[in-house]
Structure 1
Amino acid sequence: MAGTYTPVALTVSVTGEKEDLLTLLADQRALLRITARGLTDEQARQKTTVSDLNIGGLIKHLASGFRATAQTIVDRGENAEFDMAAVADAYALRDDETIDGWLDEYDRAAEAFDQVIADVASLDDLIPQPTAPWQPEREWWTVRKMTLHLLRETAHHSGHADIIREALDGQSTMAAISEGQSWADS
């Protein structure tokens, strides 16, 4: 699909709107991976802005989000509640965790999510969303809306990660992907 920043290849066989959504999502995931490229665990934990966010924590958060969203689509639990305790350290790369470990989980969670989207009968399927303190009433979202939500979350947090990385060592994702390209030199 033209219009991506990175060369992406899907791990599932889909066409049409599913292909478009998953390709753009894969591109955003690849951009986030570029932001984390070459980081040590210490650098991945480092906070370089006034917020508490760091690159390792953002990747951990997104990996968990892909995993949870895939499970929500599969389970379709009409009585599901968001588990606040399960996300207590969602944005923290703990000392016993590594950036490489979470990047591997990010890839596995993304592949699992993509497979769920490939297998779902229709992007129009309605899925009950877990209730949460910020969403106390049950809502039903289409698979399409859930996928678009993950696309937005990934792009949003990729931007956070890019700012954190640039403050860390000056690398920006766009400069990193254009490095050595003839069009970038002109």
Structure 2
Amino acid sequence: MNIEEGRHTMTSTEQLTGERADLLQALRRHRGFLLQTVDGLTDEQAATRTTVSELCLGGLVKHVTITAHRWMLFAVGGAEAMQREDVDWVGQFRMVPGETLAGLVERFQEVADQTDELIATLDLDASHPLPQKPWFEPGASWTVRRVLLHLIAETSQHAGHADILRESIDGAKTMG
């Protein structure tokens, strides 16, 4: 399923008010922190692991992109749509040969734009059963609203991780 299939008539996120505007503003703020953190890095710096974990800055951008894309597939078409695309669970946190930070940021922006349009149009109360995974409560469902709250939390958490990694590379801090 294409995320585009979930769109309805409203196409401008500038017209949003209330809850939708608040959700979008929070998500955009944390996306901005992540992008600010990677701004000005070389591909080599973005691929550098500065801790014992697999995390690198380019990998975090890639992971947040993949996560947002998959959760928007879920918001539009449920668990089946989300699981149609395979995920490299380890590689999504790394930059692999041939990837550039500019390319990862470009894809991040594409997914962000698609997500913003869906926030403007989807029924926030629409609900789908979660995929059957050990980390989800069996039989639980999430509304589109809950998915968006999860994306805000995920993006925020990884923007914080990115800030630590960036400080390890060149001392730069997003928030200080």
In the superposition, the TM-score normalised over structure 2's length comes to 0.85
Query: How far has the Cα of 1:136 moved from its partner?
Result: 7.2
Q: 1:142 to 1:13 in 2, by over 3 A?
A: same
Q: Relative contact order: is structure 1 or structure 2 higher (C-alpha 8 Å, sep ≥ 6)?
A: 2
1:152 is matched with which residue? 153
CA RMSD of aligned residues (A): 2.2
Query: How far has the Cα of 1:76 moved from its partner?
Result: 2.4
Query: How far has the Cα of 1:78 moved from its partner?
Result: 5.9
SS in 2 for 1:174: coil
Unmatched runs of 5 consecutive residues or more in structure 2: 1-11
Deviations 1:128-168 (A, max 9, x none): 22222433734210111111111111110011000000010
SS in 2 for 1:127: strand
Deviations 1:79-99 (A, max 9, x none): 965866543411111011111
Q: Percent identity over the alignment?
A: 39
Q: Distance in 2 between matches of 1:161 and 1:36?
A: 8
Q: 1:17 to 1:120 in 2, by over 3 A?
A: same
Q: Distance in 1 between matches of 2:112 and 2:133?
A: 24
Q: Distance in 1 between matches of 2:87 and 2:20?
A: 33
Out of 37, 41, 46, the residue aligned to residue 44 of structure 1 is 46
1:106 is matched with which residue? 108
| Structure 1 or 2: more helix by fraction | 2
Q: Distance in 2 between matches of 1:40 and 1:65?
A: 24
Q: Distance in 1 between matches of 2:83 and 2:120?
A: 26
Query: How far has the Cα of 1:42 moved from its partner?
Result: 0.6
Q: Distance in 2 between matches of 1:73 and 1:150?
A: 11
Question: Which one-letter code corresponds to 2:163 in the other structure?
Answer: D
In the superposition, the TM-score normalised over structure 1's length comes to 0.80
1:13 is matched with which residue? 15
Query: How far has the Cα of 1:77 moved from its partner?
Result: 4.4
Q: Distance in 2 between matches of 1:80 and 1:163?
A: 30
- 2:77 corresponds to 1:72: no
Q: Distance in 2 between matches of 1:80 and 1:28?
A: 23
> Which range moves more in the overlay, 82-91 or 22-31?
82-91
Deviations 1:82-137 (A, max 9, x none): 8665434111110111111010111110111111121112x222122222243373
Deviations 1:30-63 (A, max 9, x none): 0100000011111001011232211000000000
Whichever of the two has the greater Rg, that structure is 1
